[in-house]
Amino acid sequence: MDFKAISDRGLVLLGCGKMGSAMLAGWLKGGLAPGSVHVIDPHPSEWLAGTGVSVNGPLPAAPAVVVVAVKPQMMGAALPQLAAMGAGETLFVSIAAGTTLATYAEILGPRAPVVRAMPNTPAAIGRGITAIIGNARASAADLGLAEGLLAAVGQVVRLEEESQMDAVTAVSGSGPAYVFHLIETLAAAGVAEGLAPDLAMRLAKATVGGAGQLAEEAAEDPAQLRVNVTSPGGTTAAALAVLMDPEAGFPALLPRAVKAAADRGRELGK
């Protein structure tokens, strides 16, 4: 993306943990001038020292963008210090889970354009996916700017309503943890069948990683890919009979898990 507008007025990154660091690395690699970036973080990581960005220094009065990347429980203490930037000239992009657009309006005032986003942890390797939704003050240009910034760490999709964010959080935001647990349990099952732990884990990681990439790149949908690898009466069919059981398999288990995550997201947003 063209970083000129940001470079001229500056970008403030509030919080530079794993997700903030991943985004910052993507922006710098994409050509954002380090001198235009202002990081606020009480415990900055050592790698920031070599990037050329400003860390915990003076801030521009009206930067082009403020990216809020602190944990939700830190929001109450962190965001009010930027309330003076809520006059309408600065776009706020938030990746804080559970913090609603209404909450931003209460803290920043009604004139601040805000884009709420939900990325996920594969952003750390540029393979994330982020869903975004803007408030009434966010223009098409604001949404485009937010999308360009978030595209530095993966794909970006736009939502029609903020209420969809809880489902997004439950599917893609929390989803990597479900996949990591699948890898854990698949490897453990291999050990139970006689494989050495290191070999079982290597097989599980490569299988899940490769299958995920194939699912993204193949012309067929995942259901057809499943059929392609399943011979009638074969080994895969035997396993799928267990995993696809309507009462105890994935069709029953995953909806329960996703609903639990979505319900918790709604609770946190109140």
Annotated binding site: 14-19, 56, 69-72
Give the relative orientation of helices 18-30 and 140-150 as an angle to the nearest 10 degrees: 100
Rounded to an integer, what distance in angstroms lies between the CA atom of residue 179 and that of residue 198? Answer: 18
Residue ranges at the known binding site for NADPH: 56
Rounded to an integer, what distance in angstroms lies between the CA atom of residue 226 and that of residue 82? Answer: 50
Instruction: With CA atoms as reference, report the closest residue to 82 among 5, 15, 6, 8.
Output: 15
Rounded to an integer, what distance in angstroms lies between the CA atom of residue 218 and that of residue 111? Answer: 44
Residue ranges at the known binding site for NADP(+): 14-19, 69-72
188, 182 in Cβ contact below 8 A? no
Rounded to an integer, what distance in angstroms lies between the CA atom of residue 92 and that of residue 111? Answer: 11
